[in-house]
Amino acid sequence: MYQSILREQLELLKSSNQYRTFTTLSRICGQYPLAKLNGERQEPVVVWCSNDYLGMSQHPTVRQHMHQALETYGAGSGGSRNIGGSHELYERLEASLADWHGKEAALVFPTGYGSNDATLQCLLRQIPNCVVVSDALNHASIISGIRATPNERQVFRHNDVEHLEQILSAYPLAQPKLVVFESIYSMDGDIAPIVEIVEVAKRFNALTYLDEVHAVGMYGPRGAGVAAELGIADQIDIIQGTMAKAIGVIGGYIASTRVVVDAVRSFATGFIFTTSLPPAVTAGCLASVEHLKASDNERLRLQHNTALLRERLKQQDIPVMPCSQTHVLPVLVGEAERCRAAAQRLLHTHGVYLQPINYPSVPVGTERFRVNATPNHSQAQIDHLALSIRETFEHFAIPLASQAFASEVA
């Protein structure tokens, strides 16, 4: 009975084009963005949708520090942070992250998903009668943390400050409130109106919680994020980030006041009852963060390659969605089956890896490729990508930009 129930659910998933399959790619150390396609292709493929935005997973300094930590401490951490898992590298990493964001303290989690989920659950459970107000396009980890509590919750339209103001104004000034939003939204590549959101939140006595996972390392002074670039990081109550994207390793964190961080450390079950990051991973994170604080080289090369990629896609009439303001370039396909078929052709005919992004990650009718250049992509690879997407779009009769956006221009 149980097998048949689950099989039926899987068939429904497949019939709606929401079933996810894995493409087995073995990245080649020191040659990123090249990767070997498992068992099917001798020549490497070029990865164009990795979250390793700055290629820091390949950086010699990061790899060296990970090797040294492995030989010094061994493989695992040995336990949770409370029971044997707080090795000396943790203190250094958390101090470095707090300094990065100009906060009093920071707390590291095994994943970015876990840092959102555990922190939001903790805050909403520990602050009595707290109303949480969340952007409509917030990440699944934020939604999970909010839904796990019985707190009253409201959703404001994506990046709509007026709607946020309407919601907050309906509650007494003294009632606790928490506004949760992201700086960069990874499916559209757009940037939140952070200054305006913070101003409204403060006016109505609300805490602000900003997810900077797609911004840390790449924007702002020392790569500290969009809030730092705007000069208002000090006005954000809690900044959340990840070490699995621009930093190039894995792990999540929050940075805030000592009181907030201590409360999460002391009460968040998702932090207390999980094994800590291994020393080698922590060492890699620390080396990467310290490098990105001191080096603008990776950020400048990313900006250059992103601009070049935008130009090449425009020349080929590729429909980059106009919402994009960042390194994330969403290319509109608009139909799930064609998106999947196009991804297969790009991979097997052109040696280009792009993962199809379908519902529920994006709304039906906006299926897309989420493309991003890195500092490691060459001009030849950028040119090849643009030509490959153009050929693939023509092969499947996918509308080009001049067709897809014609009504918007008119």
pLDDT digits (tens, 9 = 90+) for 362-402: 999 999 999 999 999 999 999 999 999 999 999 999 999 99
Domain boundary among 275, 294, 313: 294
Catalytic positions, please?
245
Q: What is the average pLDDT across 317-327?
A: 96
Beta bridge partners of 356: 369
Q: What is the average pLDDT across 205-212?
A: 98
pLDDT in tens, 234-252: 999 999 999 999 999 999 9
214, 107: one domain = yes
Q: What are phi and psi of 42, to 5 degrees?
A: -75, -45
Q: Is 152 helix (H, G, I), strand (E, B) or coil?
A: coil
How far CA 69 is from CA of 199, 285, 288, in Å, comes to 44, 12, 14
- Asked if residue 49 belongs to a domain, the reply is no
Q: What is the average pLDDT across 283-309?
A: 98
Cis upstream peptide for 33 (omega within 30°)? yes
Radius of gyration of the chain from Cα atoms? Answer: 22
- In the chain, the percentage of residues whose pLDDT exceeds 70 is 98
> The sheet that has 238-242: what strands, in order across it?
105-109, 252-256, 238-242, 207-211, 177-182, 131-135, 153-156
282, 385: one domain = no
Q: What is the average pLDDT across 278-306?
A: 98
- Asked if residue 34 belongs to a domain, the reply is no
Would you state the pLDDT for residue 304? 98
199, 307: one domain = no
136, 281: one domain = yes
Dist CA 289 CA 36 (whole Å): 28
Would you state the pLDDT for residue 280? 98
Domain boundary among 229, 259, 294: 294
Domain boundary among 294, 322, 357: 294
Would you state the pLDDT for residue 410? 40
- Asked if residue 17 belongs to a domain, the reply is no
The C-alpha torsion from 33 through 34 and 38 to 40, rounded to 10°, is: 130
191, 226: one domain = yes
Cis upstream peptide for 360 (omega within 30°)? yes
Both tokens of residue 245? 């994207």
How many other CB atoms are there within 10 angstroms of residue 278's CB atom? 23
Both tokens of residue 183? 């700086």
Contacts for 159 with CB less than 8 Å, ≥ 6 apart: 135, 190, 192, 193
Would you state the pLDDT for residue 407? 61
- Please say if the pLDDT value at position 15 is more than 70: yes
pLDDT in tens, 69-120: 999 999 999 999 999 999 999 999 999 999 999 999 999 999 999 999 999 9
Would you state the pLDDT for residue 39? 65
Give residue 364's domain range.
296-405
- Please say if the pLDDT value at position 309 is more than 60: yes
283, 339: one domain = no
Angle at 243 (CA atoms; ends 240, 245), nearest 5 degrees? 105
Q: What is the average pLDDT across 190-201?
A: 98
288, 300: one domain = no
Among candidates 218, 190, 160, 212, which has minimal Cα distance to 324?
A: 190
Contacts for 2 with CB less than 8 Å, ≥ 6 apart: none
| DSSP track, 265-300 | HHH-HHHHTSBPPPHHHHHHHHHHHHHHHH--HHHH
| Angle between the N-to-C axes of helices 379-395 and 336-350, in degrees from 0 to 180, rounded to the nearest 10 | 130
386, 251: one domain = no
- Asked if residue 8 belongs to a domain, the reply is no
Determine which of 267-271, 307-311, 332-336 has the lowest per-residue pLDDT on average: 332-336
| DSSP track, 320-368 | B-TT--SS-EEEE---HHHHHHHHHHHHHHH-EE--EE-TTTS-TT--E
What is the domain count for the chain? Answer: 2
Distance of CA 9 to the CA centre of its chain: 28
Q: What is the mean pLDDT of the chain?
A: 95
The alpha-helical segments, DSSP class H, found in 137-193 are 140-147, 161-169
- Please say if the pLDDT value at position 361 is more than 80: yes
- Asked if residue 30 belongs to a domain, the reply is no
Would you state the pLDDT for residue 18? 81
Q: Check which CATH number belongs to the domain holding 191 and give it.
A: 3.40.640.10
Would you state the pLDDT for residue 409? 44
Determine which of 188-202, 206-220, 264-278, 359-373 has the lowest per-residue pLDDT on average: 359-373
